Amino acid sequence: MTPHRIADALLYLTGLAIATVGLLNVLPAYGPIPRIGPFPIEWFRPVFFWGCMVFFLLTELRAWLTAPNGPMKPLILLVAALFLTWLCHDFYRLSMLQIRSIFFFTTREMVMALAAAALVFWACWRLWGPAIAILGAFAVFYLATGPYWPGILRTASFSVEEIISMNVWYGSAQGILGEVMGIVLTTVLPFIVLGSLLEGVGAGNSLIRVSFQLLSRFRGGPAYAAVTSSALFGTISGSAVANVVGTGVVTIPMILRRGFTPSFAGAVEATASTGGQILPPIMGAAALVMADFVGVSYVTVMTAALLPALAYYASLFISIYFESGRLGITQTGGMPEEKATLQDWLNLVLVFGPVVIVVALLLYGLSPAGASIAAIIALVPLSFINADVRRRPVLLLNALANGGQTVAGLAIAVAVIGIIVATMSATGVPTKFSVLLSAATETSLFAALLISALGCIVLGMGMPTLPAYIAIVVVMGPTLQRLGLEPLTAHMFVFFFGVASAITPPVAIAAYAAAAIAKGRPLATSVECLRLGGMIFLIPFAFAFNPDMLLGDGAGTNEPIHVASIFLRLIVALYLSTTALIGFDKRHLHPLDRLLRVGAMVLVLTPIPLYFVPGLLLTAGLALFQRLGGKAAPNTLEPGRESR
């Protein structure tokens, strides 16, 4: 066996072990099946973290075997693995010692903690890029030097050995192995494994083909199908980039063949995949963490997100409709490769069956982890509906291993976020930031929300959604609550902008991934994302000023008259925003017409009748002018050609 195959086998076994042990940790008692976990955090968290870091070291070894760049790399990886083992054992030893007696941290523990942080930053930089790692390194620097900063940034004096040791490595409630990592282990992990299994048993591709067949007769059919399939699969996968890569290789070529431009085709996939994380019922992993942070049930979070998520996807469909008209695309009918087979229709059970189980059990009162594990248990026998799985049952093990590898990569990013959260808590930065923001914006909630939104986008750039949400909410969440928003509204506001950062230039990671598949210009694709999915930036402001948009408990009053008013005005706002951004309605829009539509949209979304009634009247006038003002303008852009 070659070294490459040995490395691949070790990576496979590591992913399999992480997924299996992680599921056993949260496996509830089902009838005669006894409950095995939860395992004691004193040994389970360091062992789990050790497995995740070993996965990273193996990926580095695999990369070196593919392209050797010096003889020292394997030696460095070996030393890192041995030191990592010592670190994890030391965490366990001191955790048990703190249970039995009082312990004071010394310079030794501080050095060990800093070494652990350095290892995590290195791994995070290699796996996720520099953004999270640099932010984490700055957090450690501020944690150590806080008493020497000027003005409001100065922190209280402390023992540097104590604060570094506890908040970076040796704390079971904060730091690398703190509560943030605990949430990933107990809540997020089973949903990631479920999403990996759904993809591995062929459910995703079948969903795409069925969507194409149902929607291909419409002029924007492939784009509609891409939105539908990416939304449904994205709500489970929880990763915009992974969803773009997984579904985009099928959907984007179909969209291009219908005559859309490469940048628009990439933007359709990027915006649809990104929005899957705000779409109930699963909403990826970050919504699970939100429920824990806010202290409400997961059902409450799902209910609150329903109307904003539907509004976002409605805006995508409307944008595609008007873009099709702008380009003059009239082709209808399916293409041979879009035809779904009987097996594809049967495979839909693999998509909707687990989702129905999760929702039903959540409504029944089961924990998110218990509901997701029940769906996994049901999916295993259901997967044999697919002939490919019957021929190759090893596909289930492959999917389980892929899920474990996904968890390992996410856990490394979350480890850095744990340091950032611990620093925020220890230094009181969120409180200081809220005081500064309140003083700067005085009584203007809109100005405060605008600054917070910009901060959310900047902090979230280049990050996966879950780490981005956690990093943002520890700073922005208390600030927005201090300004008068309910906790659920504040967290949902932050969550939406954390998700939106994936399609926001200049670091639009989902857009860039889609551009690579569409062979379009990355920056043009990210700008097209803003034009197509611009409502994701407006909807949070809408529900901040109209809390009744967040249905259920924890936000608005939920009075039927208010909900009905918001729903109707939201539909009007969708029409105004999409036509203004696309620049087309019945015919091409004059710049003044587009500007008037933006103004009308702002008026319509204002919760005061004195403003939204004139906005509705202005909308009616603009729509009437479009339909009575002359013939529809002919298409002036060749399909498939980028606009300038």
- Taking alpha carbons only, the member of 197, 221, 196, 193 closest to residue 209 is 221
Q: What amino acid is encoded at 91 in this protein? A: F
Question: Quick one: average pLDDT of 213-226?
Answer: 80
Q: Tell whether the model's pLDDT for residue 50 goes beyond 90.
A: yes
Structure tokens, 227: 């939105």
Structure tokens, 587: 């015919």
Distances (CA, A) of 575 to 215, 317, 332, 530, 622: 21, 11, 24, 16, 11
Give pLDDT, residue 115: 94
Give pLDDT, residue 268: 92
Are 353 and 327 contacting, i.e. CB atoms less than 8 angstroms apart? no
CA dihedral 284, 285, 286, 291 (to 10 degrees): 110
Q: Tell whether the model's pLDDT for residue 343 goes beyond 80.
A: yes
Q: Tell whether the model's pLDDT for residue 335 goes beyond 70.
A: no
Please write down the long-range contacts of 210-216, taking CB distance under 8 Å and 24 or more positions apart.
Answer: 210/340, 210/344, 210/345, 210/348, 212/254, 212/334, 212/338, 212/340, 213/334, 213/338, 213/339, 213/340, 216/332, 216/333, 216/334, 216/335, 216/338
**What is the rounded average pLDDT for all residues in the chain?**
84
pLDDT in tens, 85-140: 999 999 999 988 888 878 788 899 999 999 999 999 999 999 888 888 998 999 99
Question: Quick one: average pLDDT of 315-325?
Answer: 87
Q: Tell whether the model's pLDDT for residue 232 goes beyond 70.
A: yes
Give pLDDT, residue 558: 67
Q: For the chain, give the number of residues.
A: 644
Calculate what percentage of the chain has a pLDDT beyond 90.
21
pLDDT in tens, 264-298: 899 999 999 998 889 888 787 777 788 888 888 88
Q: What is the pTM of this model?
A: 0.81
pLDDT in tens, 476-532: 788 788 778 888 998 999 899 888 888 888 778 888 889 989 888 888 898 899 888
Q: Tell whether the model's pLDDT for residue 631 goes beyond 70.
A: no
Lowest mean pLDDT among 240-249, 364-373, 392-401, 552-561: 552-561
pLDDT in tens, 100-112: 878 788 899 999 9
How far is it, in rounded angstroms, from Cα 572 to Cα 283?
26
Give pLDDT, residue 638: 45
How far is it, in rounded angstroms, from Cα 77 to Cα 503?
35
pLDDT in tens, 410-425: 899 889 989 988 888 8
Give pLDDT, residue 484: 80
Q: Tell whether the model's pLDDT for residue 329 goes beyond 80.
A: no
pLDDT in tens, 20-35: 999 999 887 766 767 7
> Which pLDDT band, with edges at 50, 70 and 90, does 555 fall under?
low
pLDDT in tens, 530-554: 888 888 998 999 888 888 888 876 5
Q: Tell whether the model's pLDDT for residue 7 goes beyond 50.
A: yes
Q: Tell whether the model's pLDDT for residue 351 goes beyond 90.
A: no
Q: Tell whether the model's pLDDT for residue 464 goes beyond 80.
A: no
Helices (H) and strands (E) in the chain, counts: 28, 0
Calculate what percentage of the chain has a pLDDT beyond 70.
92
Give pLDDT, residue 553: 66
Give pLDDT, residue 337: 52
- Taking alpha carbons only, the member of 330, 269, 316, 215 closest to residue 582 is 316
Give pLDDT, residue 443: 63
Tell me the domain boundaries of the chain. 3-173, 565-634
